[in-house]
Structure 1
Amino acid sequence: MKRPGDILPALARRFGAKTALVTRDRILSYVEVDELSDRVAAGLAERGVRPGQPVSLYAQNCWEWVVSYHGALKAGAVVNPVNVMLTAEEVAFVLRDCGAAAVLTSSEQAPRVAELTVDLPQLNGVFAFGGSDADGVVPFDDLLASTGAVPDVDPDPGDACTIGYTSGTTGYPKGAVQSHRAVMWNCAMTATMHGRTADDVVVTALPAPHVYGNVVINSTFLVGGTVVLMERFDPATVLRLIPEHRATLFEGVPAMYAMLLAHPDLAGADLSSLTRCTVGGQTIPVSTVQSWEQRCGAPLIELWGMTEISGIGITHSVHVPGPPGSIGVSLPGVQVRIADLEDVTRTVPAGEPGELMIRGPIVMLGYHGRPEATAEALEPDGWLHTGDIAAMDEDGYVFVVDRRKDMIITGGYNVYPAEIERVVAAHPGVAMVAVGPVPDPVRGELACAYVVRASDSTITEPELIAFAREHLAAYKAPRRVQFVDALPATSTGKIMRRELIKSLDVGITVDTTVDTAIN
């Protein structure tokens, strides 16, 4: 198998009627997923989609999404997975920017998508999962009714496979173009590092359009395992599905594990079938890792990845657990290094923080139609700027400090939100925490901790600040604490730090004492 589009035909021949995918309303075998994706491929070709053209997928997790992903690849199309949390304006931009030849979406979103795309000359149709009566929308069942032949396509492994758009902190998002080789390499090496086998049953609520969610699904398919795909994350449902399906893996982001640990159903849940779990998307407090491992009895494997590398780039081998707090080592065949923040050509010594750089077959081809942005992200020798601040120990284990753009500068000192979050999260009265900057006329910025209290907790702001100061230098400790009911998150559960300040009470008193360390 050289391409992701080769996975289902090969696995259907090998595993036949074995269950491949379980969703809320349908269970599909490998043969069924393969046959359904064949029909999608034939249907897209009949409606004018040609090899190399983008096909956009815009919907919540469902069996139709998975079938459409593989059907588009079999048609020779380039898959454009679209985040379901994008606004209508953002979706319109993505569809125009990539030049979508078809859009497959939910029945709820289909009418709006049809309006947004009415003037796209290259568009061959908007197809609705579940059907729709809206003008310009074709029921998905019409694609499945196709009796034509699957297009005879044979793309080069180095050709474009997907265009995944970044969230875009300023301006519009950028489309990272991934090759077939990159996606396939990522899935294969992830399966290897995590020891996936045909006996695995994976429960996941990670969004299929996200690179982490995609790798979870397809690396499991690659070995003949079973994916139990939730439409969206719900802790009570996770705690029910794991024992119901005797799941061997659960995969999620830090916020999911924090919510599971805080849920009242956890005490009575049977998690004995789990043999390992994975966590990525953001840094996770060591205390959360330890609490989950103690409760379920299985290792929680940290990982790191990004859209620009088609998924995961660094993780632990299931058989070689690394030091606590580390995200692991590079995937086989992939290089990582820590570059000086001022001189990218200089690799810093072990233990010194710098920018995490990555190079290898999983790195994107570039940003679609954005040569200047590509040149900024990719060095001439192939090293990709990740934007993460990290350090590497002498054994090659990587420790992420924080996102470079999330760094708080207070009184001339660099403060990393993730470091504060790890400390505050260790307090028993805290269920979830995220840290963001607030402006200060004296120091420029101060760190504010936004905290979701644990059940029955009465922890106060002064108590949490005092707790943090026991474990952090004075200039690093948060100066404000805002208690909230929930934290703003992306579709993957990743905390959106830039949205935190919207929930800030302006009446909270700021600690105005000046530390000698930053005076």
Structure 2
Amino acid sequence: MLMIVNAQGASAPRTYVDRILEHWYEDESAEALVQGAQRLTRGEARRRLFRLGHALRGQGLAPGDGVGLFLANRVDSVLVQLAVHLIGCRVVFLPPEPGPGELAALVEQSRARAVVTDPLFARRAADAAGSSVHAPVLLSLGPCEEPSADLLALAADCPAERPEGVPAPAADEAVTVLYTGGTLGRPKLAAHSHRLYDTLVGLFDEAQQDSGSAFFPAMDPATDRVLVATLLTHGSGHLTSLQALVTGSVLVVLPEFEAGAALAALRAERITTTMFVPPMLYALLDHPECVPGALPALRRIVVGGAASSPSRLRQTAEVFGPVISQGYGQSEALGIAAFGAEELASEGARRPELWRSCGRAISGTEIEIRAEDGTAALPVRQVGEVCVRGKPVMLGYYEDPERTAEALHDDGWLRTGDLGYLDAEGYLYLVDRAKDIIVTGSTSDNVYSRVLEDFLLTLPGVRNAAALGVPDEEYGEAVQIFLATAEGADVVPEAVGAAVTAELGELYRPRKTVLLDELPTTKVGKVDKKALRAAWTSGAMGTP
């Protein structure tokens, strides 16, 4: 926990929220939060934050209680998340992907005492809260038809002064819980303490001192404007908003991603920094208005959340210049490896293969590649499971000691479930998720979907690609690819198969190539391979 010394010389806890408020007490008329026509100054944002904190307390919430946030991208969603931490409660991010059963299990397992929902999600939130034995209070960000209290209306009648009497959380107390997916009825909830926020604030401060090599760019509150386009309740959106707020920069919220709307917001709001997951970046690049010089204010695009295509990253540099940064993390460890824009531009010119890397370990983090049993470290360039140790690593899975023991070793190493290798200079290369490997061929060899997808994205007319393993009587699994093609492009499946075989070998030859206008994506913006597999096996895309 960061510390601050008061007027009497005594030490008191200083959280990331305190860092944000330091900016919001200065130059109160400066912009702080923007969403379309809604524009809050620093003073307005601070007062609304305090009122929300009092309103949450008025619902009987006490320090340590869990508060589920089932929210869309909007300014008030940012403030509610801050308000939960302000009064010492635990943030539980509820993503929009799970079905009713899994959402209810998530609310139940997280022990949420309240659920704050966007009116758009109110029916689903009410069903999930109603099935929990903890009987959480249902609150909505605005009026809705479901039986819930309007948190914004309650806050309007509350004091605009900071709530007092909030104890400091213990070092090992979970203050934020991130959903990581899981089997139906048994979600995985990565729990983090304030150590994560102290670490992130330290990384933001490092960036201010050494912007040339940092993954996070140096920020100037007077000029920087950050667009959050990914979900605020996902790690990527949470990180993006945190850096803007902690550094005093303006945060612009994009309610829902669409390439044209994103371009318009980037241009109109003079955005200097943003973050996209790969499908978002690809859609932006494919938009007809995305041309060199279209966004003169843009200094940094961070790409993360899923594997990125090297050819698409080079295309980004061609269109926007040396602005692209890569990051690798997951809900269990929000920061693992990173590649700063300046480093990627200079080192990528010297060693083109580095465009396939996601950078080196961030400050204070260790990376090892380990064998299947998770204990023996492997030599340079040998593929194994990526394991990480450091301050960004979670405390464990909330209320789930069994799966915590599977993921976290006694020596503090986290098994990420990702496969990759390190080169001699410490650059990390990811080749697949362990669960996405396609085991095929007469010798049951591994086909790495990331390697195949990267190559497919270099082919003319291919905008996005996904590779799956489908059942095969002879080999157990066979390679199948799904391609999103550009309008008017003449992509011939047989030619694609021949090109794959010529480049990657017979093992990678696809049994079938399916051409689509778009690939399905999750609410977070990643390619939804589960949906692809389900649609194919059900016959919705033709004969399996």
Confirm or deny that 1:292 pairs with 2:299.
no
Q: Tell me which of 196, 199, 208 is aligned to 2:218.
A: 196
With over 3 angstroms needed to count, the CA separation of the structure-2 counterparts of 1:471 and 1:102, relative to structure 1, is: same
Confirm or deny that 1:175 pairs with 2:197.
no
Match of 1:364 in 2: 394
Where do 1:224-373 residues align within 5 Å? 224-267=248-291, 270-309=294-333, 311-321=334-344, 322=347, 323-342=354-373, 344-373=374-403
Query: Once the 2 structures are TM-superposed, how far is the Cα of residue 155 of structure 1 from its aligned partner?
Result: 2.1
**Does the CA contact (< 8 Å) of 2:386 and 2:418 recur in 1?**
yes
With over 3 angstroms needed to count, the CA separation of the structure-2 counterparts of 1:339 and 1:276, relative to structure 1, is: same
**Does the CA contact (< 8 Å) of 2:20 and 2:248 recur in 1?**
no
Choose 116-125 or 375-384, whichever is displaced more. 116-125
Query: Once the 2 structures are TM-superposed, how far is the Cα of residue 331 of structure 1 from its aligned partner?
Result: 1.4
**Does the CA contact (< 8 Å) of 1:438 and 1:445 recur in 2?**
yes
With over 3 angstroms needed to count, the CA separation of the structure-2 counterparts of 1:215 and 1:353, relative to structure 1, is: same
- The one-letter amino acid paired with 1:152 is G
Match of 2:82 in 1: 70
Match of 1:423 in 2: 455
Query: Once the 2 structures are TM-superposed, how far is the Cα of residue 111 of structure 1 from its aligned partner?
Result: 4.1
Number of aligned positions between the proteins: 508
With over 3 angstroms needed to count, the CA separation of the structure-2 counterparts of 1:351 and 1:169, relative to structure 1, is: farther
TM-score by length of 1: 0.93
**Does the CA contact (< 8 Å) of 1:20 and 1:227 recur in 2?**
yes
Where do 1:25-44 residues align within 5 Å? 25-44=37-56
Aligned partner of residue 375 in structure 1, secondary structure: helix
Query: Once the 2 structures are TM-superposed, how far is the Cα of residue 319 of structure 1 from its aligned partner?
Result: 3.8
**Does the CA contact (< 8 Å) of 2:484 and 2:517 recur in 1?**
yes
Q: Tell me which of 467, 486, 500 is aligned to 1:435.
A: 467
- The one-letter amino acid paired with 1:287 is S
Aligned partner of residue 290 in structure 2, secondary structure: helix
**Does the CA contact (< 8 Å) of 1:160 and 1:178 recur in 2?**
yes
- The one-letter amino acid paired with 1:390 is G
Separation in 2, partners of 1:65, 1:480: 44
Query: Once the 2 structures are TM-superposed, how far is the Cα of residue 499 of structure 1 from its aligned partner?
Result: 2.3
Match of 1:58 in 2: 70
Of all paired residues, the percent bearing the same amino acid is 27
- The one-letter amino acid paired with 1:75 is I
**Does the CA contact (< 8 Å) of 1:59 and 1:106 recur in 2?**
yes
Confirm or deny that 1:488 pairs with 2:520.
yes
Separation in 2, partners of 1:206, 1:354: 30
Match of 1:517 in 2: none
Choose 71-80 or 10-19, whichever is displaced more. 10-19
Match of 1:130 in 2: 142
With over 3 angstroms needed to count, the CA separation of the structure-2 counterparts of 1:503 and 1:132, relative to structure 1, is: closer
Confirm or deny that 1:162 pairs with 2:176.
yes
Match of 1:513 in 2: none
Query: Once the 2 structures are TM-superposed, how far is the Cα of residue 129 of structure 1 from its aligned partner?
Result: 1.2
Separation in 1, partners of 2:493, 2:247: 49
Query: Once the 2 structures are TM-superposed, how far is the Cα of residue 435 of structure 1 from its aligned partner?
Result: 0.8
Separation in 1, partners of 2:305, 2:184: 20
With over 3 angstroms needed to count, the CA separation of the structure-2 counterparts of 1:256 and 1:112, relative to structure 1, is: closer
Choose 260-269 or 346-355, whichever is displaced more. 260-269
Query: Once the 2 structures are TM-superposed, how far is the Cα of residue 185 of structure 1 from its aligned partner?
Result: 1.3
Aligned partner of residue 289 in structure 2, secondary structure: helix
Give a deviation string over 1:343-389, Cα, whole Å, max 9, x none: x2221111111110111111111111111110000000000000000
Query: Once the 2 structures are TM-superposed, how far is the Cα of residue 133 of structure 1 from its aligned partner?
Result: 4.3
Query: Once the 2 structures are TM-superposed, how far is the Cα of residue 170 of structure 1 from its aligned partner?
Result: 6.0
Give a deviation string over 1:89-145, Cα, whole Å, max 9, x none: 222111111111111111232244234324656456321112124334434321342
Query: Once the 2 structures are TM-superposed, how far is the Cα of residue 15 of structure 1 from its aligned partner?
Result: 4.9
Choose 165-174 or 32-41, whichever is displaced more. 165-174
**Does the CA contact (< 8 Å) of 1:54 and 1:99 recur in 2?**
yes
With over 3 angstroms needed to count, the CA separation of the structure-2 counterparts of 1:61 and 1:80, relative to structure 1, is: same
- The one-letter amino acid paired with 2:366 is Q
Give a deviation string over 1:43-87, Cα, whole Å, max 9, x none: 111221010010111011011110000001011000011102222
With over 3 angstroms needed to count, the CA separation of the structure-2 counterparts of 1:58 and 1:95, relative to structure 1, is: same
Query: Once the 2 structures are TM-superposed, how far is the Cα of residue 455 of structure 1 from its aligned partner?
Result: 2.0
Query: Once the 2 structures are TM-superposed, how far is the Cα of residue 182 of structure 1 from its aligned partner?
Result: 1.1
Match of 2:11 in 1: none
TM-score by length of 2: 0.88
Q: Tell me which of 10, 16, 22 is aligned to 2:34.
A: 22
Query: Once the 2 structures are TM-superposed, how far is the Cα of residue 265 of structure 1 from its aligned partner?
Result: 2.5
Choose 299-308 or 7-16, whichever is displaced more. 7-16
Choose 287-296 or 89-98, whichever is displaced more. 89-98
Superposition RMSD in Å: 2.2
Query: Once the 2 structures are TM-superposed, how far is the Cα of residue 324 of structure 1 from its aligned partner?
Result: 1.4
**Does the CA contact (< 8 Å) of 1:187 and 1:215 recur in 2?**
no
- The one-letter amino acid paired with 2:77 is W
Structure 2, gaps ≥5 residues long: 3-13, 208-213, 348-353
Q: Tell me which of 534, 537, 540 is aligned to 1:502.
A: 534
**Does the CA contact (< 8 Å) of 1:17 and 1:31 recur in 2?**
yes
Where do 1:96-107 residues align within 5 Å? 96-107=108-119
**Does the CA contact (< 8 Å) of 1:262 and 1:455 recur in 2?**
no
Query: Once the 2 structures are TM-superposed, how far is the Cα of residue 418 of structure 1 from its aligned partner?
Result: 0.7
Choose 15-24 or 391-400, whichever is displaced more. 15-24
- The one-letter amino acid paired with 1:341 is E
**Does the CA contact (< 8 Å) of 1:436 and 1:498 recur in 2?**
no
**Does the CA contact (< 8 Å) of 2:217 and 2:300 recur in 1?**
no
- The one-letter amino acid paired with 1:330 is A
Separation in 1, partners of 2:119, 2:530: 32
